[in-house]
């Protein structure tokens, strides 16, 4: 899901001040290695606070929260969190002559900005993100994107990292664009795109291909099926939110499953030879389909039928075992989500309740 930004700006604009406004606990759980902080603590044996500027060198160990190397000397500090109400500085090596104490203030001076390379092989996923699963959050100057990443996780080359930059942007003009990327409950990282493609028609990503004609879209074995499935999911989200038979808890549960389905449909689209699923609005509006269904059972059946057809078409057209496995896994996730929906969404008649 992509959310347009109302006031477009780089995710790095004012980032130091923005991070510094976090509670110290949250800040130290958010920042990655190479972040430079100014940190103040109250020594246990002195009334005079101590302030130092230090670089974060390690965040991998569960305790302490971070390891710090002060700029002024060769000491190594640990920022520890013994409980939810306090943070402490202590020496990383007990023999170091450091008078530790409770942290009073943490300010971010700078954050690391690493390169995110696009080559003719694809979008090169940074090492810390390869294989990661969970809820992926991406912030750019054109909007935010949120997507569930399931097994096998982010791949070595993964176009999903560019999702918020795809709508309305020239795919040949991504060099220098900035992104903030993080998975839920993990540390935030910042990237600046380095576009190393040769910008031929064979360059990656797929959006560099020439525009699809109406005939191409009609003949493609995946386009209509994935498009219609995506549209039905959108319709279901709106209908469920307006349907008074669902309480808040049920509505949240159903909408969450539908959002996961959107992510998995996007994952299938990225792995089969299918045009951009939003291209219909710009390439040929007459192909914009508004699926017609009355009951929830009919809506779910429309998706099931099309997913079966997509799976069969891909199996018949592909010999790459790895790609077959990836697409099949996504479709399996969708089929599981449909089973969950059928349990929660259908009224006794299978028909949505009219909103009063």
pLDDT, tens only, 181-228: 998 878 899 999 998 877 654 555 544 444 455 566 677 788 788 888
CB 65 within 8 A of CB 129: no
356 pLDDT band (50/70/90 cuts)?
A: very low
**133 and 105, same structural domain?**
no
Residue 199's pLDDT is what? Answer: 62
15 part of a folded domain: no
CA distances from 119 to 77, 140, 175, 176, 177 (A): 40, 20, 11, 14, 15
**261 and 176, same structural domain?**
no
Residue scoring higher pLDDT (275 or 355):
275
CB 263 within 8 A of CB 340: no
81 pLDDT band (50/70/90 cuts)?
A: confident
**151 and 268, same structural domain?**
no
Q: What percent of the chain has pLDDT over 70?
A: 80
**178 and 103, same structural domain?**
no
CA-closest candidate to residue 54, choices 28, 30, 29: 28
24 part of a folded domain: no
Could you read off the pLDDT of 45-55 as tens digits, one per residue?
A: 888 999 999 99
Residue 13's pLDDT is what? Answer: 78
Residue 275's pLDDT is what? Answer: 63
125 pLDDT band (50/70/90 cuts)?
A: very high
277 pLDDT band (50/70/90 cuts)?
A: very low
Span of 110-119, 177-186, 283-292 with lowest mean pLDDT: 283-292
286 pLDDT band (50/70/90 cuts)?
A: very low
155 part of a folded domain: yes
For tokens 């075992």, name the residue: 321
Separation CA 290–CA 207 (nearest Å): 24
Separation CA 268–CA 247 (nearest Å): 32
Q: What percent of the chain has pLDDT over 90?
A: 14
Query: Could you give the strand order of the β-sheet that contains 113-119, starting from the edge strand earlier in sequence?
Result: 2-4, 143-149, 134-140, 178-183, 189-195, 113-119, 122-123
Provide the domain count of the chain: 3
114 pLDDT band (50/70/90 cuts)?
A: very high
316 part of a folded domain: yes
**121 and 97, same structural domain?**
no
**196 and 180, same structural domain?**
yes
100 pLDDT band (50/70/90 cuts)?
A: confident
CB 355 within 8 A of CB 242: yes
Kindly tell me if the per-residue pLDDT of 333 is higher than 50: yes
346 pLDDT band (50/70/90 cuts)?
A: low
Residue 119, domain extent: 2-8+112-205
**289 and 245, same structural domain?**
yes
Residue scoring higher pLDDT (106 or 290):
106
178 part of a folded domain: yes
Residue 209's pLDDT is what? Answer: 43
232 part of a folded domain: yes
**334 and 277, same structural domain?**
yes
Q: What is the pTM of this model?
A: 0.55
**309 and 292, same structural domain?**
yes
Kindly tell me if the per-residue pLDDT of 172 is higher than 80: no
52 part of a folded domain: yes
Average pLDDT, the chain: 79
**311 and 267, same structural domain?**
yes
Residue 44's pLDDT is what? Answer: 87
**162 and 82, same structural domain?**
no
Could you read off the pLDDT of 295-322 as tens digits, one per residue?
A: 888 999 989 999 999 988 888 887 778 8
Residue 289's pLDDT is what? Answer: 56
Residue 22 is encoded by which pair of tokens? Answer: 């976090």
Residue 280's pLDDT is what? Answer: 42
353 part of a folded domain: no
**73 and 63, same structural domain?**
yes
Structural domain ending residue among the three candidates 147, 172, 205 = 205
Separation CA 232–CA 299 (nearest Å): 6
Structural domain ending residue among the three candidates 205, 230, 255 = 205
Structural domain ending residue among the three candidates 110, 137, 158 = 110
Residue scoring higher pLDDT (70 or 96):
70
């Amino acid at each position: 899901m992509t959310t347009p930004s109302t006031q477009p700006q780089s995710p790095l604009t004012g980032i130091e001040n923005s991070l510094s406004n976090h509670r110290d606990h949250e800040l130290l759980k958010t920042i990655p290695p190479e972040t430079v902080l100014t940190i103040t603590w109250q020594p246990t044996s002195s009334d005079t606070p101590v302030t130092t500027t230090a670089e974060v060198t390690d965040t991998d160990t569960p305790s302490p929260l971070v390891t710090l190397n002060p700029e002024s000397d060769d000491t190594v500090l640990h920022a520890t969190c013994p409980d939810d109400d306090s943070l402490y500085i202590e020496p990383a090596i007990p023999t170091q002559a450091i008078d530790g104490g409770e942290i009073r203030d943490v300010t971010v001076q700078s954050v690391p900005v690493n390169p995110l390379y696009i080559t003719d092989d694809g979008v090169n996923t940074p090492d810390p993100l390869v294989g990661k699963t969970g809820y992926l959050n991406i912030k750019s100057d054109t909007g935010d994107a949120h997507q569930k990443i399931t097994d096998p996780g982010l791949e070595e080359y993964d176009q999903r990292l560019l999702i918020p930059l795809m709508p309305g942007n020239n795919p040949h003009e991504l060099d220098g664009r900035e992104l903030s990327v993080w998975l839920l409950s993990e540390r935030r990282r910042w990237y600046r795109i380095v576009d190393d493609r040769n910008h031929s028609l064979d360059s990656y990503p797929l959006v560099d291909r020439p525009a699809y004609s109406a005939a191409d879209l009609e003949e493609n074995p995946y386009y209509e099926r994935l498009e219609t499935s995506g549209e039905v999911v959108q319709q279901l989200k709106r209908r469920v939110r307006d349907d008074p038979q669902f309480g808040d808890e049920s509505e949240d549960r159903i909408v969450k499953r539908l959002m996961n389905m959107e992510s998995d449909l996007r994952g299938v689209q990225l792995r089969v030879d299918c045009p951009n699923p939003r291209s219909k609005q710009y390439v040929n509006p007459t192909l914009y389909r508004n699926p017609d269904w009355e009951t929830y059972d009919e809506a779910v059946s429309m998706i099931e039928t099309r997913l079966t057809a997509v799976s069969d078409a891909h199996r018949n057209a592909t010999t790459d075992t790895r790609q077959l496995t990836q697409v099949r896994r996504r479709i399996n996730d969708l089929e599981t989500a449909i089973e969950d929906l059928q349990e929660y969404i259908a009224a006794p008649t299978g028909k949505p309740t009219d909103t009063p």
